[in-house]
């Protein structure tokens, strides 16, 4: 779009969007400020957007924890493995289920089988027993495989695939393409925004999930980052007579430490999301089927 004059409506739109953005930015800045504040100052609850008594103690503590980098690597491995495993499964299933019943007879059955798992859940204990019986306790793959198919993501993708005009597919099929080729050569290239969306969600979910590691992994060295960070608590024995301990332990309180944890968890998103945003581009390529 070339230069144009901004109308009143444009200004209102920008204003509303800016307002929404600012409202969302404020607590993030608040988190950052608290994480950089001295504990007593943060305890008063009056740290707003700027740190009081600036200190890097919370981050120093976080990064100096013995297993920080090893659990960081576990999380990185987990995200990569999840992308490798989950994306193909989700995309192919979404594609198949986007076909109507007449092209894929069992479509409705499979669809409902998937939807039901979003609503019914055996609960923690049966799931734990199941996974234990599969021998996946303390195994890295428990972080990847059970959650590999995210039905919600799959349905979003399926819904998008369904909206692609049939003509596109028929045209390719006439040219001799099979289902696989249609998926890869025709559908995927025009699905970039939705693909980027579910990629983002997959990365975020596998990076931020702490619960799986908490329940199924008992060796701290094998924890993913969020589980590890969560396990770092600041427990202080105030009856201690040892000044060194009291001083040390007061450098970081749970308030500032928790804020630091949250800031750290937001960083991957702020790196990955902008990278994916270039795929949020408009438009189907309709050139191949016109008139």
Partner 1 sequence: MKIWKGGARVRNKKSEWAYRLMTLPGLLLLVLFCYVPMGGIIMAFENYVPSRGILGSEWVGLENFRYLFSMPDVSQVIGNTVIIAVSKMVLGIAVPVAFAILLNEVCSVGFRRVVQTIVYLPNFISWVILGTIFQQMFSANGLVNTFVQSLGFEAIPFLSSGPIFRALVILTDCWKGFGFGTIVYLAAILSISPDLYEAATIDGANRFQRILHVTLPGMLSTIVLMGTLSLGNVLNAGFDQIFNMYNIMVYDYADIIDTYVYRIGLISMQYSLSTAVNLFKSVVSCGLTATAYIMASKFANYRIF
Partner 2 sequence: MAAGMLTSCASSSAPTSTPSNTEALSSAGTEDSADWTTPYSEPVTVSIGRGGGTIAWPEGEDIENNAFNTWIKDAMNIEVKSAFFLTDGNDLKQQIALSIAGGDIPDIMIINDPLQLQQLINAGMITDLTDVYEEYASPLLCAMVDSYGGVEKAWSTAYSDGRLMAAAELNPGFQYAMTWIRQDWLDKLDLEGPKTIDDLFAICERFVEEDMAGNGQTIGMEIDKDGNLAGTYNSVGQLDPIFNNLGSYCNLWYDDGTGNYVNGSLTQETKTALGKLAELYQKGVLAKDFATRDYQASIASGYCGVVFGAWWIPSWPLNQTVNNNPDAVWAPYLVRVAGDNDYHVYNQNRNTYWTVVRKDYEHPEVLIKLLNCSVEAQVSFDGKALSDEETAALDLRVPNEVLNHYFGLANIDWGAWPLNVTLRFEDQMLKIAQQQMQQVEDYQTGDTDSLTETELANISSIVSYMDGSDTSARAQEYYMRYTAMKMMLDENDTVKIKEVYYPVTTKTMELKQANLIAFRNETFFKIIMGNEPLDYFDNFVEQYNAQGGAEIAAEVNAQAKSE
Dist CA 206 CA 208 (whole Å) = 6
Smallest gap, in angstroms, from Cβ of residue 227 to partner 2? 10
149 contact partners, CB below 8 Å, separation of at least 6:
86, 89, 90, 93
How much of the chain is helix, strand and coil, in % rounded to 5? 70, 0, 30
Choice between 44 and 282, CB closer to partner 2: 44
Given a contact cutoff of 8 angstroms between Cβ atoms, the answer to whether 76 and 243 are in contact is: no
Choice between 106 and 248, CB closer to partner 2: 248
Instruction: From the list partner 2, partner 1, none, pick the one residue 163 interacts with, judged by a Cβ distance below 5 to 8 Å according to partner type.
Output: partner 1
Q: Is the dihedral of CA 200, 202, 205, 209 positive or negative?
A: negative
Choice between 159 and 245, CB closer to partner 2: 245
- Positions touching partner 2 (CB under 8 A) are 38-41, 43-46, 65-66, 124-125, 128-129, 132, 214-215, 218-221, 230-250
Instruction: From the list partner 1, partner 2, none, pick the one residue 28 interacts with, judged by a Cβ distance below 5 to 8 Å according to partner type.
Output: partner 1
Instruction: From the list partner 2, partner 1, none, pick the one residue 122 interacts with, judged by a Cβ distance below 5 to 8 Å according to partner type.
Output: partner 1
Choice between 5 and 219, CB closer to partner 2: 219
Residue with tokens 């609960």, as numbered in its chain: 123
Instruction: From the list partner 2, partner 1, none, pick the one residue 47 interacts with, judged by a Cβ distance below 5 to 8 Å according to partner type.
Output: none
Smallest gap, in angstroms, from Cβ of residue 243 to partner 2? 5
Smallest gap, in angstroms, from Cβ of residue 118 to partner 2? 23
Choice between 69 and 103, CB closer to partner 1: 103
């Amino acid at each position: 779009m070339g230069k144009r004059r901004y109308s009143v409506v444009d200004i209102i739109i920008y204003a509303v969007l800016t307002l929404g953005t600012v409202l969302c930015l404020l607590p993030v800045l608040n988190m950052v400020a608290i994480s950089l504040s001295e504990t007593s100052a943060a305890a008063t609850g009056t740290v707003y957007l700027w740190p009081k008594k600036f200190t890097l103690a919370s981050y120093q503590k976080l990064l100096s924890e013995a297993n920080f980098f090893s659990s960081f690597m576990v999380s990185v491995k987990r995200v990569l493995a999840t992308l490798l495993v989950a994306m193909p499964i989700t995309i192919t299933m979404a594609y198949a289920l986007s076909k109507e019943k007449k092209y894929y007879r069992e479509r409705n059955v499979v669809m409902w089988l998937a939807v039901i798992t979003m609503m019914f859940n055996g609960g923690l204990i049966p799931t734990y027993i199941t996974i234990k019986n599969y021998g996946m306790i303390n195994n890295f793959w428990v972080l990847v495989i059970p959650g590999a198919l995210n039905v919600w993501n799959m349905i979003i993708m399926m819904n998008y695939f369904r909206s692609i005009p049939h003509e596109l597919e028929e045209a390719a099929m006439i040219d001799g393409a099979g289902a696989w080729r249609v998926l890869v050569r025709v559908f995927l290239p025009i699905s970039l925004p939705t693909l980027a969306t579910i990629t983002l969600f997959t990365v975020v979910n596998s990076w931020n999930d702490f619960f799986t590691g908490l329940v199924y992994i008992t060796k701290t060295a094998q924890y993913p980052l969020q589980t590890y960070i969560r396990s770092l608590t600041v427990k202080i024995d105030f009856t201690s007579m040892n000044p060194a301990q009291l001083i040390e332990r007061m450098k970081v309180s749970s308030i500032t430490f928790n804020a630091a944890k949250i800031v750290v968890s937001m960083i991957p998103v702020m790196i990955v999301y902008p990278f994916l945003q270039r795929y949020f581009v408009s438009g189907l390529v309709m050139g191949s089927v016109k008139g």
